Amino acid sequence: MAAMEILPGTRAPVRMWTDPATVEPAALQQLRTVADLPWTHGVAVMPDVHLGKGATVGSVIAMRDAVAPAAVGVDIGCGMSAVPTGVTTAELPDSLRGVRAAVERAVPVGFALHRNGLDLRRVGLHRAYDWDDFWARFDALHALRKGMSATAADDLRKRAHQQVGSLGGGNHFIEVCADQDERVWLMLHSGSRHIGKVLADEHIEAAKALPHNAGLPDRDLAVFLAGTPQMAAYLADLRWAQEYARLNRMVMMELVKSAFVRALSRPVEFGEEISCHHNYVAEETYDGVDLIVTRKGAISTADGRLGIIPGSMGTGSYIVRGRANPAAYCSASHGAGRKMSRAAAKRTFSIADLQAQTEGVECRKDSGVLDEIPGAYKDLESVMAQQSDLVDVVARLRALVCVKG
């Protein structure tokens, strides 16, 4: 049963959809620090909350006339996409190894990329978007025009082009799933790749150098102020990166669809795609107050929209419909959330543990993904129970195939 709690002793209200006693002390301190900033209007804390850089992952921070780049994070626009298929589990091959191999051939993972950039005609997206305008806007990115040589900017543009339609590593993944009716879904999680991190890092450092941030208790929470050229520059670059992340997922999903069709050697019908950011900025109004809302590991639930809340590697996910709860700034969690660091996971678990915890899922079961073992994450069912007033469940998906970098 969902129960909101208030974190006591903060200047701005901190509303929590989890028991504060279960949150690591360092993360609680981050929440208190951001709530005490003079620009903070309020904070909503999701049940997947855990320690981050500057701001916790799993928090929604509403500010007046200011924005903190670290409250978005370095993977600007990171998010999820999912699409239902017309295939049932009964129509899948007995072994899903071929499906996994087809996806891994189609989508670069980890540090890999499309060496010459993906030919968008191959996936039928060359006319689906004004790509010329998009790349022209790359040339106007503020963070790349400050002290960066033309050669370095060209290298970044080339890499950004090569990474469109690529997964990356860490907690990013591609899955083939099945819902409660045995209908098969395709799902993926990725963001703005290297270029998003470059833009975020540049703006975070620029904010730290501004005089009004000199006395902050945590320099990683440096903000830009409304009406300044620095904030305008950040928001312009951020919006481009958010669009890059959305397009990256759109292209990747087309590659996954094609790979799925090839693996099954038959035509496949696909339903309407669901896509949502969970690291981003939006301008929203609550109680008549215009606010700049940053979601770092949280999805929007406004207007009853559909969203995706994944679990850990191979444990399944939820398709949800938002309940637009204003107390949470119309937000919900972005996943299960880590309960231990990557280093701690590698110390705690073995390859045998990984094999046991991903039994029945066609996926990597080696040391390279040990830090993503399900045991390193919070229990997804508990996380969902804590936010029943934020979302309604549309579908529960179980993982059949999981591809990671």
Q: Which residues are catalytic?
A: 334
Selection from 53, 175, 177, 194 nearest residue 110 by Cα: 194
Ligand-binding annotation for 312, yes or no, is yes
> What CA–CA distance (Å, rounded) separates 203 from 385?
37
Q: Is 277 assigned to a binding site?
A: no
173 annotated ligand-binding residue: yes
Taking the alpha carbons of 145, 148, 154, 158 in that order, is the dihedral positive or negative?
negative
225 phi, psi to nearest 5 deg: -100, 145
Q: Flag whether 142 is marked binding.
A: no
Would you call 300 helix, strand, or coil by DSSP? strand
The response to whether 310 counts as a known ligand-binding position is: yes
Q: Which residues contact 224 (CB under 8 A, 6 or more apart)?
A: 66, 67, 69, 203, 207, 210, 230, 231, 234
Cα-Cα-Cα-Cα dihedral of 359, 360, 362, 365, to 10°? 10
- The response to whether 337 counts as a known ligand-binding position is yes
The reply to whether 93 sits in an annotated binding site is: no
Does 351 appear as a known binding residue? no
Is 212 among the annotated ligand-binding positions? no
β-strand pairing of 317-322 with 391-404: antiparallel
Q: Is 73 annotated as a binding residue?
A: no
What does the radius of gyration of the chain's CA atoms come to, in whole angstroms?
A: 21
Which structure tokens are listed for 314? 């191979």
**For residues 190 and 249, is the Cβ–Cβ distance under 8 A?**
yes
Is 213 part of any known ligand binding site?
A: no
252 is in an annotated binding site: no
Residue 243 annotated as binding site: no
On the 0-12 / 13-18 / 19+ scale of CB atoms within 10 A, 120 is middle
Residues flagged as binding site: 75, 171-175, 189, 278-279, 310-313, 317, 334-337, 404
Residues flagged as binding site for GMP: 171-175, 278-279, 310-313, 317, 334-337, 404
Residues flagged as binding site for Mn(2+): 75, 172, 189, 278
